[in-house]
Structure 1
Amino acid sequence: METLDFQSCIDACNACANACDHCAASCLKEEDVKMMARCIATDMDCAQVCRLAASLMARGSEHAAAFCRLCAEVCRNCGDECGKHQMDHCQQCAAACKRCAEACEKMAA
């Protein structure tokens, strides 16, 4: 497949990684940081996985589809965690994770 075939998924992965980075940084500024520990950890994992998925797609790796299936799973996990918190940054991250999971599932199908 050509990189253009992956572009919408690459874009979703990059947007999700950025949202996760923002969410993690914002969670660190919350009053009860300890309560946000799982959210921060899932954000960091998700951002890294999304960036690797985007990179694999960009170079047309034969492992892109398999990795995107994993990326979708990690995004759903992160989105579920972020969705538990009412802060805007968590809700925005949860939405980005959902969009990315859907894009990765579609790409990997």
Structure 2
Amino acid sequence: MEDNILSLLNSIYECQSACKYCFNACLEEARIDMMRRCIKRTVECAEICEHTASSLAYTGDFTHEVLSICIKACEECAAECRKHNHLHCMECAKSCSECAEACHDYMDEYRKIA
């Protein structure tokens, strides 16, 4: 189980980093007005990833709920980033999708044990 948590944490931190990078890159785009929703999603997703990683590290009582929120944030961020043809958005969407999948897998594994 510990290897699963470490793998999940790695995926969460990668997603958080991709979101932060995407946020900064979006701010540099020429038509920033079209990027507002993407900017908002990436900031929110990065913050939720940070909270999720902390919750996992402490094995809190609300880990399942926190993971559910992380999945939703990652899926929403990925969907928004896919609307844009920028490389940073495509990479962010990929990382967010992988993080959501990793959270799902962890929750499935956790249910088998509990």
Asked if these proteins are the same fold (TM beyond 0.5), I'd say yes
Structure whose CA Rg is larger: 2
Contact 1:3–1:58 under 8 Å retained in 2: no
Which has the larger displacement, 3-12 or 53-62? Answer: 3-12
Deviation at 1:26, TM superposition (A): 0.2
Amino acid at match of 1:48: E
Question: C-alpha separation between the residues in 1 aligned to 2:107 and 2:35?
Answer: 31
- CA offset at residue 5 of structure 1? 3.6
Give 1:93's aligned amino acid: C
Match in the other structure for 2:22: 23
Structure 2 counterparts to residues 77-92 of structure 1, below 5 A: 77-92=76-91
The aligned amino acid for 2:68 is R
Shift of 1:107: 1.5
Give the Cα–Cα distance (whole angstroms) in 2 for the partners of residues 62 and 77 of structure 1: 25
Output the amino acid matched with 1:39: C
Percentage of pairs with the same residue: 33
Residue matched to 1:108:
107
Shift of 1:4: 4.0
Aligned length: 108
Residues 44-93 of structure 1: per-residue CA shift (max 9 Å, x gap): 00000011101110111121122101100110000000011111000000
| Contact persistence 1:3–1:59 (CA under 8 A) | no
Paired with 2:103 and 2:33, the residues of 1 have a C-alpha distance of: 31
TM-score (norm 2): 0.90
Structure 1 residue ranges, 4+ long, deviating more than 6 angstroms after superposition: none
Distance 2:78 2:96 in 1: 5
